[in-house]
């Protein structure tokens, strides 16, 4: 039982490049989330999904896209990377009693 896994752990992108951050869960949770965390800041919600085929924007969705074709996977797509997207990205699921479980994070540096 791996919980929430994220790949890659670390990535350096050049400005204008694109990439997909992968998130997979094996807990059969319907709700999944993407957050970003900038240094010294709390987590800000980018996108979330309440189930396969259903996604919605969070607080900071600009520059990102998501899809949810299966319960297990919730990839986050960055198009045209910008230095402002340098951050740590956390994927999370929601289980019983509304508790969220976080993946280990992906550290992204855009230069």
Partner 1 sequence: QKEVEQNSGPLSVPEGAIASLNCTYSDRGSQSFFWYRQYSGKSPELIMFIYSNGDKEDGRFTAQLNKASQYVSLLIRDSQPSDSATYLCAVLQAGTALIFGKGTTLSVSS
Least separation in angstroms between residue 54's CB and partner 1 is 12
Between β-strands 10-13 and 106-110, what pairing exists: parallel, antiparallel or unpaired? parallel
Least separation in angstroms between residue 48's CB and partner 1 is 5
Nearest to 108 by CA among 13, 6, 5, 7: 13
Q: Is the CB of residue 91 less than 8 Å from the CB of residue 75?
A: no
Q: Which is nearer to partner 1, 81 or 103 (CB)?
A: 103
Q: Which is nearer to partner 1, 64 or 90 (CB)?
A: 90
- Residues forming contacts to partner 1 in the complex (CB under 8 A) are 31, 33, 35, 40-45, 48, 50, 58-59, 90, 97-105
């Amino acid at each position: 039982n791996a919980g929430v896994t994220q790949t890659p752990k670390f990535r350096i992108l050049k400005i204008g490049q694109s990439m997909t951050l992968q998130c997979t869960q094996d807990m059969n949770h319907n709700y999944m989330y993407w957050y970003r965390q900038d240094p010294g800041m709390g987590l800000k919600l980018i996108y979330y999904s309440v189930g396969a085929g259903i996604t919605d924007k969070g607080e900071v969705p600009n520059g990102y896209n998501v899809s949810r074709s299966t319960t297990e996977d919730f990839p986050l797509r960055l198009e045209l990377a910008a230095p402002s997207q340098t951050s740590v990205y956390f994927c999370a699921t929601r289980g019983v009693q509304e508790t969220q479980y976080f993946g280990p994070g992906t550290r992204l540096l855009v230069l």
